[in-house]
Every structure is written in structure tokens, then in C-alpha cells.
Amino acid sequence: MREPALTRAQAAVALASDDPEVLAYVSDTYGALGDHAEALKYAQLSLQKGYTMTDLRRDPDMREVISDPQFDIRSRTH
């Protein structure tokens, strides 16, 4: 199911690259697929587009991503 998930994630970004909720879902997808770097990237982008840390914390699947030391500390203040 990896390829269909990647295809849908990429399509979602192409169609709604400014939607913070979509970016958070894409981050979640990459995390579930084991692509931690992409999960971090899209979590940070979701914050830059208006999502909040509270929003990310509501999703239990995002805990590993947002607790990673590589997660940009500046993003955590949003």
C-alpha cells in the first residue's frame, strides 16, 4: 500500500500546498510509511501555513514526529 499512499500524498500536496491541515495529513502519511525526514518536513510546513502545535498534538500519530530533536524548535512556538 506504500505506492498508493505516496501517490495520494503527492497529489494532495500538488492540489492544496497551502492548506495546513492537508500538509499535516501528508506528514502523518510519511510518518506511517517510515519516511521520517519527509514527515518532519511536512509537519513544519503545516505550522508555517497556520496549523498549530496544539493541532499536531491532537493526533497521536504525530507524537514521534514532533518530539524528534530535529523538529525545528522555532516551529514549536506556533
Which CATH number covers residue 6?
1.25.40
Residue-level pLDDT at 71: 84
pLDDT tens for the chain, 78 residues: list them.
Answer: 889 999 999 999 999 999 999 999 999 999 989 898 999 999 999 999 999 999 999 988 888 888 888 887 555 544
Residue at 76 is within a domain: no
What amino acid is encoded at 14 in this protein? A
Residue at 26 is within a domain: yes
Residue-level pLDDT at 75: 54
* This prediction's pTM: 0.85
Residue-level pLDDT at 63: 86
Burial of 19 (0-12, 13-18, 19+ CB in 10 A): middle
Range of the domain at 45: 2-71
**The three cell numbers locating residue 27:** 506528514
Residue-level pLDDT at 78: 46
Please give the helix or strand (H or E) that residue 66 lies within, else none. Answer: helix 63-67
Q: Domain tally for the chain?
A: 1
